[in-house]
Amino acid sequence: MTDTPWLVVGLGNPGPKYAGNRHNVGQMVLDLLAERTGARFSRHARAQAVVAETRLGVLPGGRPGPRVVLAKPTTYMNTSGGPVAGLAKYYGVDPAQVVVVHDEVDIPFDTIKLKSGGGEGGHNGLRDITKALGTKDYVRVRVGVGRPPGRMDTADHVLKDFSATERKDLPILVDDAADAVEMVLVDGLLAAQGKFHTKV
């Protein structure tokens, strides 16, 4: 078994102005994963990102889970591809071992869906990553933020903070997404889909 790390990327926009936005839920998940393992983010020397190297999950027999590089690009969402491709090259990570955690308007709030490959659904961060990696075949942990109400533009919706009602359940959503990431790494994508796609 190779000890090449997984690269787990949380998408968002940089700076405190955007920190609570729906668009930044991927970075919220990465913060929780780092917190769970006591890892600390630091600026990467070669890529526009902050990274934390750790292990996630527990393997059979109680052994520590696989090596992982947690990464949050410090670029804006629409230019996430450069940092992701740069980190994948630096750590020798194949695209199949890249996991991108991101907001998803096409699924309801409080829902997690997972997939490998497929379209980007109008998500400019994913589109840029696909272009930079040269493939769609990376894992996506899709964190539901729901569609905008009424005639609100999708961009305005994702660049707003979660509502007061949503914020009550947001810690559970972020926790579930972090669990999903760990399950992908330890048990595989199909097992994670089996659990989270049928979650009530």
Is residue 7 helix, strand or coil? strand
Given a cut of 60, whether residue 200 has pLDDT beyond it is no
Angle at 129 between CA 125 and CA 133, to 5 degrees: 175
Given a cut of 90, whether residue 151 has pLDDT beyond it is no
Q: Greater confidence, 34 or 151?
A: 34
Spatial CB neighbours of 172, under 8 Å, sequence gap ≥ 6: 110
pLDDT value for 1: 44
Tokens found for residue 4: 């090449």
Of the listed ranges 75-84, 132-141, 151-160, the one predicted with least confidence: 151-160
115, with CB counted inside 10 A (0-12, 13-18, 19+), is: middle
Q: What is the DSSP string of 39-106?
A: ---EE-SSSSEEEEEEE-SB-GGG-B--EEEEEEESS-GGG-HHHHHHHHHHHT--GGGEEEEEEETT
Mean per-residue pLDDT over the chain, rounded:
94
| C-alpha count within 13 angstroms, C-beta hemisphere, residue 166 | 17
**C-alpha to C-alpha distance for 123 and 117, rounded to whole angstroms:** 14
Name the band, by pLDDT with cuts 50, 70 and 90, for residue 198: confident
pLDDT value for 120: 85
Instruction: Residue 10: name the closest of 166, 178, 187 by CA.
Output: 178
What pTM, to 2 d.p., does this model score?
A: 0.95
**Which residues does the annotation mark as catalytic?**
23
Tokens found for residue 166: 């949503």
